[in-house]
Structure 1
Amino acid sequence: MIPDTQRPQADFSFGSFDVFLPERRIEREGLAVKIGARAFDILSVLLDHAGNTVSKQEVADHVWPGITVGETSLRFQIVGLRKLLAEGDDDRVIATVPGRGYCFVTPVTRHLPTPSVPFPNPDDRPSRLPGRLSHMLGREKEVTGLCAMLKEHRFVTVLGTGGIGKTTVAVAGAHALSDWFARDICFVDLGSVTDPRRVASTMSASLGFAVNDGDAVATLGTFLKQRRILVVLDSCEHVIAATAVLAERLFQAAPQLHIIATSREALRVEGEHVFVLAPFACPDDDDAISVERLLEFPSARLLLDRAAAAGTPIKLGPGDAGIVSDICRRLDGIALAIELAASRIPAYGLRGTLNLLNDRFRHLQGGRRTAIPRHRTLADTLAWSYDLLDERSRLILQRLALFIGPFGLEAASVVSDDSLDEVEAIEIIENLVAKSLIAICRTVDSVRYRLLDTTKAYLVDRFAVSRDADAVRRRHAELFRDLAAGPVGNDIPQELEAERVPNLRIALDWAFGPGGDTALGVTVAAAAAPLFLRMSLLTECRDVTLRAIAALDDAGSGSLFEMELQTCLGQSLMFTSGNTDDVEQAFQRALVLAERYGDLIRQFRLLGALHIFYERTADFGKALSLAQRGFDLAERIGNPAGIAAAHSLLGIAWHLLGRHREADLHLAPAMKQLEDQHGIDPIGFGFDHRNRACITAARSLWLQGFPDAGASLARDTVEASAALSHPVTHCIALIWAVSIAEWREDWTAMDGFVERFSAHADRHSLRPYLAVSACMRGQLAIRAGDIESGISMIQANLVSLRAARYEMLTTGFMTTLAEGLAQTGKVDEALEIITQCEDAVERNGDRLHTPEVMRVRASILALMGEVAKSREVLEQSLVCAQAQSATAWELKSACDLVERGDRNAFTLQPILTRYGPSNSDATRLRAQRLLENLG
């Protein structure tokens, strides 16, 4: 042991360990600990980023620079390192972050400066378009031709056989046109779609929004109508009919939309122009061909390039050029077949690979292979490659055909079994990658894998008839159930969550289908439903939960799974079908189960969901009661974000009851405490707590006499909600921003907000919101003087809102309707409508609007000649506004009294003094003009 006085300063310390980087030494309580070189390198990089997740690729690049290693090697070193640190193979020192990497979680004391290189930003996301290839062989002319055709005709299908490079050319063309489209390009991978009915929703998800009920194609057309955008529809052949309908209607509906489709057959619809992608040109049958002449052919260059990438650079000797020429010719210049052949060259050499081709294709002798369909040639190539594998590799490859889209090494748990453990399965997968039978899909912080489409098509039928297909499907369903039930929200990349959706769909179809396992299907549905909510797949969430709840048996009824299903059912029903009794029953049933299981977090979430349900049904007293229960529960839980969320619920409830001072006491801490936090899974509530607190505070600011501050906060909140990429939250912000603009009589701002809201609600098929937007347009029409039209719009859509029990906004709409009727001389109808408003306000507790409803009643009474009664009601409106601290309503009523001669400047001036400055707020400008006229 080194005396303390002579000991150098450790670079890192944690627990009883000291780490000395220059000496590459680790000590435990002063005694040296034996550690391998690789393990020390891993430890150093994890310590350097202690508390942060380090991707597996970054660790590998640090420990094995310039060398490609399998994940098994890294995992082996991590296991050894954990044992060395006396923690066993668990996560108490080094945590595994699923799908991302590793994190050193034990507190670390750093005795050296913080590294100057920043840790990669975890919010980095790949483009919606697959990355540009570092180099592309032999397709430059095709890319140029495709771009020219697309500019001229707008709709081009790249046609060719499987494996010929259609996607490569389409993606390269899209990158070449990136600036021409101002980077507004969307890549839609239809290869992951198994159900033709989901073609439109897959496209909408790629565009960043969800298509639910109604005519999905029409919704997409509305969304794309005004955009100059390029959409790449990749791998259309297996859903050709649905894709053809979609492409044709969108082409007709959106005049600035450009489409590139890739398919093995033409879509044969209006507007389509076919770009035939021919195979690579191949050398003639000439054994004496020169190397220089050979390299003029892209097929030969591709073969040599891929052979070099596989670890066998070829220096062509005498006669080799003829062999390369023969291989390329026999493969018809099909890119995938050439790549597969190149992967054999390291093991068999050029001559051996050619001999394999001779054996495989001897049935083609005596005739030109170009005389038969090229897909047959590719199928033979795939069969040849498949047959060259050992039995275990064939088994793994066959089982991987079940996966939809990219997958990680977690797939090993599905494709392994009692005779083949996960470590062996991982090794085989890595070997298949090396053989180009599995493609690599690199993301920001991980490596994913994917079967080539043609390989998958070749294997699907083999897998379907295999003896263990159902066992593999079961493990597949269990894997994606567990992945969906794992970390949520910001813990994993959004694109990784999106990858899971198609796999969950096929797992659910199998589980609930013939020969499936219904009990397993219920657990998969319970895990999938929250993910569908987060992805805004509201209709799909509704359908999945209804199916699973109907399948519950005695064991499943009353279980945790039912609690999750009922929660998600209520959420999805509320925004797709309205505020029906089924919504309330689903939430109440889930709440009973959460209380039975003592799940406080779930109880809080459900109280929040019921809170918004009763707001939407205009039962504001019950909403306040639920908010108070939620606050008490949040304090019991003790989570700061939860307490802030509870403040938000209380602030909104008090605001709707017209108690603005009480509302402010809760809205302020909600906004402050949630500013740097994500809340408790806010999307699980169907809205974001901070966003709702902010838009409520904006309304409260205007009502209390701070017009410009309220308008500014409303604009900022709307933009913040748009950045959340969650349709319901954005709609809520826009709805209340519209109300502020209406109160300010800023018709330009109101029109802009209504336009955005209408388009957003229509785009996402949020049915109750469609009626809301129509009522808002009716309000605008009345204010613009088109009174009869506005009255009709509001009357018709109030019927729809009441059918959906969406009463939260009806007071404002009815008030405007009464004003419109009065302006057309229908004062009796107007009085009846405003009386209904007053009754609803009294019954529901919607006292926020009471001063304004009374003010409008007074104006109607004046038109009817009941002057004394009108003055009395107007005085009551003024007193009510004062009691609410609603300075804006107070100033409006005071202006009415002054204009009628019932009050003078001494009434108006004190209120205006309390009203904030503004050069654009109509209420303030009106009061100023009255004071000027009064001298």
Structure 2
Amino acid sequence: MGTGAPTTAPGGPEAELTTLVGRRADAARVRELLSAARLVTLTGVGGVGKTRLALRVAGDVARAFPDGVHLAELASLREGDLLAQSVGAALGLANPGREGADATEALVAHLRDRRALLVLDNCEHLVDDCARLTGTLLRAAPGLRVLATSRQTLAITAEQVFPVAPLPVPDPQHPCAPRDIRACPSVVLFTERAAAVLPGFTVTETNAAAVARLVHRLDGLPFAIELAAARMRTLTPAEMLDLLADRFALLNGGSRVAEPRQRTLRKLIDWSHALCTPAERTLWARVSVFRDGFDLEALRQVCADDGLPPAALVDVLGGLVEKSVVVHRQQDGRSRYGLLETVREYGYERLAASGELAASRRRHRDHYADLTARAQREWFGPRQAEWFARLRRDHANLRAALEYCAERPGETEAGLALAVAPRHYWITAGSLAEGRRWLGRLLGGDGDEAGERIGERIDTARPLALATHAYLGVLLGGTADTLRELDAAAAVAEACGDVPAAAWTRHHRAVLATWQGDADTAGRLLAEALTAFRATGRLDGAVECMVKLAIVHAYAGDAERAAALCREVEETSAAHGESWLRGIARFARAVLDAREGDPKAAIAAAREAIGLMRPFDDWWDIAMCVEVIAWSTVDDPARAARLLGVLRLLWGAVGGNLETAPFMRERHRAFEETVRAALPAARFERALRSGAESTVAQALAFVLDEPPAVPRARVDGRTGGPLTRRESQVAELVAEGLTNQQIATRLVIARSTAENHVERILTKLGFTSRSQLAVWTHDRRMREGRPADGG
């Protein structure tokens, strides 16, 4: 049995063997906390970089502690009774327990009149002992500061906790240029470590996408990224991605001089698992069935049983949060919980080994099936936006539930019900192609048995699923086969006696007729569907048919009928607290105003419609509103050209190969020809690119004539507010390329003061480099209309 003697650093922490990447803002914030608090604890999941950050901060502040910075590395210490002796060894005490005094008293005597920083690294497995000793030392030695790292807080008075987050990663849903990928901290780390084993490695056009996906799959965990980089001796990033199905086998090439628990990813997570109570281990396994987070309701529905009753779940969950296994955050005023993918996969392995996997996945499916059914019942009402936001947060869980239904024999019916409730989710969520894929996969699961099953159950979800699958195809612009699909859906609905599904099929065929310019057929089918919905008491369907009829009449030139329908839809929707169809009614009003020759009224109505649609991320209908706004600005060709670029951006976000809504295409092309003719070719192309290459937020700000969003780097809850006057001066000088010494000379301040200003600015803005600050400053000058030289 060894003492687990820690690393001793009488002159301060050891020199760093490799650079610390992406932690500038974190280090500045921890230094700030340490200047005000006597105990700061860095918490976070294993492998996130707590120790590296603590050592960097300790090195940065060493000059403030004349009696030294001392590191006590506790990972290998197993006996709490030996903690004080181990800390004494870190302080350089030859015999902390000499002359009969216990080790704690010797530490108190040594530290009582000293100004020192004690770094306690890896406290989690001795958290109670560390808490007691730290409390004793801080009370006895007023000049002592303690910087601790732990997967769990010490939970003593005056402790300041700093959660260390994983490094930022590229968003695979929004691919960006290799230049931007290379600047992402997680990619910078991978590149540096990969170049160490494969000299000359860099991120290129060829490998950028694979590297971005790789660091994203690794959760931005520095330890996992470094293990992956070490594999560059034998594998490419793309090959590593293929092998990540078993990341614990792949990532096992750590340093030979590291602690055993730090040599492989599995051993690192094993260490966290060993610190958990039996109940916490059980819950860790069960929550691994969730994808991308969960709330308390889901926790109770999916994870509770006789062994873990609902009343005990919150306390057990709290233990996992304290141990940095589960991440807690607040979203829209409610608690939401999640696991890093690496931690989730570890728990999922444990869940499978326990024999509970199938039952957990079924409970998970049942919960989200119930959730979507409730959302459908309350969709046409005041909770519409709330339900959409809730389903959007759980999009990954809906996918997992659909996967379960698609993979399990006999679950097709449940999967179809899940895929069509609420009916508008795939449309408003901008996931047309995904919704169609899921429906296609589930409908294909029935194969040739479809005809035999018609009539078995009147409440089957199949008729509505067939109709919805076809409708999503219509919205994606592919009309060659959709009429046949709609005919098949109508036949199944009629055979089953499913009146609402048959009515929706008529609605969808009417939309297709509108796409094809057949207003008479569209009007007739919508009127038939409206009658059917009213007869069955389906108010949501009736109102949707009314608003589509309003659009058809507006295009057919029947302004009086279109206006009357818009009023009825707006009044009905407002009376029920509904927003989405009310927004479409405002769009219909905008179309009507545009055809009536009132561009100002058309722009105002379309902007109101966008305001109602934005909470739903309904890019399809928002794009149609922007079409009307664009047409109404034809007298301002430069603005109109930029709006054409915005339209390219928005229709691209919808998916498919659309350039505009089919029934608006002729007007769109005539408008574009008019704008092109009004501007020199180079100017038109510049304006077009300006709109097409902006972000969606910037594009909507331009459409709505709102102030543009300030370009910022990643900003989180630890960043500060706006720059002070002095900080703005310093930012300008950084943008001019001045060094800290040159800034100090220009402003007649000390160099250390200039350094502090730069660090604080970078922290406030969430930047990691002076070049980012320079770009930001340049953009701010442009927004304020100042010349590029800052004058």
CA apart distance, 1:469 = 1.8
Counterpart residue number, 1:693: 588
Question: 1:721, 1:461 → 2: CA distance?
Answer: 42
Counterpart residue number, 2:151: 339
Counterpart residue number, 1:819: none
Q: Deviations over 1:285-337 (max 9, x none)?
A: 655655577962454698799869x997953159999xx99x99xxxx7x4xx
Q: Secondary structure at the match of 2:360?
A: helix
Change (3 A) 1:379 1:785: closer
Q: How does 1:137-536 map to 2 (within 5 A)?
A: 142-144=26-28, 162-165=47-50, 290-291=110-111, 296-297=117-118, 299=120, 315-316=135-136, 335=149, 338-340=150-152, 342=154, 371-372=258-259, 375-376=262-263, 382-387=269-274, 389-409=276-296, 410-417=298-305, 421-425=309-313, 428-433=316-321, 437-451=325-339, 455-487=343-375, 490-491=383-384, 492=386, 494-513=388-407, 520-527=414-421, 531-536=425-430
Which structure 2 segments of 5+ residues have no match?
1-22, 32-43, 55-88, 97-105, 158-254, 686-791
Change (3 A) 1:382 1:575: same
Aligned-residue identity in percent: 17
Query: Which residue of 603, 618, 621 corresponds with 1:726?
Result: 618
Q: How does 1:500-899 map to 2 (within 5 A)?
A: 500-513=394-407, 520-527=414-421, 531-552=425-446, 553=449, 560-582=460-482, 585-586=485-486, 589=489, 593=493, 596=496, 600=500, 605-633=504-532, 635-636=534-535, 645-674=544-573, 679=578, 682=581, 688-702=583-597, 706=598, 709-710=601-602, 712-714=604-606, 717=609, 725-740=617-632, 747=637, 750-769=640-659, 776=668, 779-781=671-673, 784-785=676-677
Question: 2:438, 2:329 → 1: CA distance?
Answer: 30
Change (3 A) 1:389 1:305: closer
Matched to 2:591, the amino acid is T
8 Å CA contact 2:526–2:548 kept in 1: the answer is yes
TM-score (norm 2): 0.51
Question: 1:668, 1:404 → 2: CA distance?
Answer: 43
CA apart distance, 1:693 = 2.3
Matched to 2:587, the amino acid is R
8 Å CA contact 1:307–1:343 kept in 2: the answer is no
CA apart distance, 1:577 = 4.0
8 Å CA contact 2:630–2:640 kept in 1: the answer is yes
Matched to 2:283, the amino acid is I
Q: Secondary structure at the match of 1:487?
A: helix
Q: Secondary structure at the match of 1:560?
A: coil
CA apart distance, 1:561 = 1.9
Q: Secondary structure at the match of 1:693?
A: helix
Which structure 1 segments of 5+ residues have no match?
1-138, 148-158, 170-281, 346-367, 794-935
Matched to 1:728, the amino acid is W
Matched to 1:296, the amino acid is L
Q: Secondary structure at the match of 1:578?
A: coil
8 Å CA contact 2:302–2:367 kept in 1: the answer is yes
Q: Deviations over 1:38-89 (max 9, x none)?
A: xxxxxxxxxxxxxxxxxxxxxxxxxxxxxxxxxxxxxxxxxxxxxxxxxxxx
CA apart distance, 1:434 = 5.4
Question: 1:291, 1:621 → 2: CA distance?
Answer: 90
Name the larger-Rg structure.
1
Change (3 A) 1:166 1:735: farther
Question: 1:536, 1:701 → 2: CA distance?
Answer: 31
Question: 1:451, 1:750 → 2: CA distance?
Answer: 46
Question: 1:707, 1:468 → 2: CA distance?
Answer: 62
Change (3 A) 1:729 1:496: same
Q: Deviations over 1:522-562 (max 9, x none)?
A: 45444587543332111111110000001125586565321
Question: 2:467, 2:411 → 1: CA distance?
Answer: 23
CA apart distance, 1:610 = 3.0
Change (3 A) 1:312 1:526: farther
Q: Deviations over 1:378-401 (max 9, x none)?
A: 855653553455544432322222
Change (3 A) 1:623 1:746: farther
Q: Deviations over 1:103-127 (max 9, x none)?
A: xxxxxxxxxxxxxxxxxxxxxxxxx
Question: 2:628, 2:138 → 1: CA distance?
Answer: 79
Q: Secondary structure at the match of 1:404?
A: coil
Matched to 1:512, the amino acid is A
Q: Deviations over 1:794-836 (max 9, x none)?
A: xxxxxxxxxxxxxxxxxxxxxxxxxxxxxxxxxxxxxxxxxxx
Change (3 A) 1:146 1:312: closer
8 Å CA contact 2:600–2:632 kept in 1: the answer is no
Matched to 2:294, the amino acid is F
Change (3 A) 1:740 1:538: same
Q: Secondary structure at the match of 2:338?
A: strand
Question: 1:636, 1:311 → 2: CA distance?
Answer: 70
Change (3 A) 1:672 1:583: same
Query: 508-517 or 453-462: which moved more?
Result: 508-517
RMSD: 5.2
Matched to 1:767, the amino acid is N
8 Å CA contact 1:781–1:787 kept in 2: the answer is no
Counterpart residue number, 2:67: none
Query: 470-479 or 557-566: which moved more?
Result: 557-566
Q: Secondary structure at the match of 1:441?
A: strand
Matched to 1:316, the amino acid is T
8 Å CA contact 1:542–1:572 kept in 2: the answer is yes
CA apart distance, 1:466 = 3.0
Counterpart residue number, 2:195: none
Change (3 A) 1:304 1:283: farther
8 Å CA contact 1:437–1:455 kept in 2: the answer is yes
Counterpart residue number, 2:242: none
Counterpart residue number, 2:63: none
CA apart distance, 1:623 = 0.8
Q: Secondary structure at the match of 1:407?
A: coil
Query: 504-513 or 550-559: which moved more?
Result: 550-559
Matched to 1:401, the amino acid is S
Question: 1:480, 1:411 → 2: CA distance?
Answer: 12
8 Å CA contact 2:364–2:401 kept in 1: the answer is yes
Q: Deviations over 1:380-427 (max 9, x none)?
A: 565355345554443232222222222123223333456655445555
Question: 2:354, 2:333 → 1: CA distance?
Answer: 35
Change (3 A) 1:636 1:140: same
8 Å CA contact 1:641–1:674 kept in 2: the answer is no
Q: Deviations over 1:478-536 (max 9, x none)?
A: 22222233225535365532332212323333443488955554454445875433321
